Amino acid sequence: MIEHFICQVPLFYRALIPGGRWCIPAYRGKSVYLTFDDGPIPEVTPWVLDKLDELDVKATFFCVGDNVRKYPELFEEIKRRGHQVGNHTFHHIKGLEKSARSYIEDVEAANDLIHSRYFRPPHGHLLFSQVRELSKRYELIMWDVITRDYNRKLSPERVLYHVKRYTRNGSIIVFHDSLKAEKNMREAMPQAVHWLKEQGYTFMRIGDMP
């Protein structure tokens, strides 16, 4: 039961972030939104980009501002390859630990480098005051399926199971281009993409949403 609530956020929690986009069903056919959080980093992101090219899939990368500062060429490469980018704060901070003012300042510092109207809060945690202010400037992109690839206690097979168990039309799926998630993500993500294609899903970037 706990795993279910983590992998697919329940409706009562979604209601706490009004205006957040959790699932974006296609009007015709079936589509999903593949997203990656916490990069870019040179140890993982280049592999993800090459693998997505091989799989012929476009995705959306929610980038940490400090990583963009450190690796600007890698950030530009994400965009050059046709992927979407979004804001994931500058310091990967938790909303519940910050005032609305300090949180917004961190988000804005990231957006000075990222230049995106799409924002995803780390850990999905926001105060009502932060939601109110962020909604004036950004589209809040949440998720429908979190793969839990970052959990080193889980196997790649379990991560893949989460995709198969919880994905539906319009699901926004979260993987991570991070060191913590690397082992699970490298094995599970390509298998997940192949399986989703077999099920008839098409892949869209957040900017392609209706």
Residue 4's pLDDT is 60
Fold for 2-208, please state it.
TIM Barrel (3.20.20)
What is the per-residue pLDDT across 58-90, written as a single tens digit (0 to 9) for each? 999 999 999 999 999 999 999 999 999 999 999
Catalytic residue status for 83? no
Catalytic residue status for 176? yes
Judge contact between 12 and 127, C-beta under 8 A: no
The structure's pTM equals 0.95
> How far apart, in Å, are the Cα atoms of 53 and each of 1, 36, 144, 147?
36, 15, 24, 21
Within 10 Å of residue 73's Cβ, how many Cβ atoms?
9
Q: Is the peptide bond before 40 cis (omega within 30 degrees of 0)?
A: yes
* Catalytic member of 37, 106, 149, 177: 37
Per-residue model confidence as pLDDT tens for the chain (210 residues) = 567 656 777 777 788 888 899 999 988 899 999 999 999 999 999 999 999 999 999 999 999 999 999 999 999 999 999 999 999 999 999 999 999 999 999 999 999 999 999 999 999 999 999 999 999 999 999 999 999 999 999 999 999 999 999 999 999 999 999 999 999 999 999 999 999 999 999 999 999 987
* Catalytic member of 88, 162, 176, 177: 176
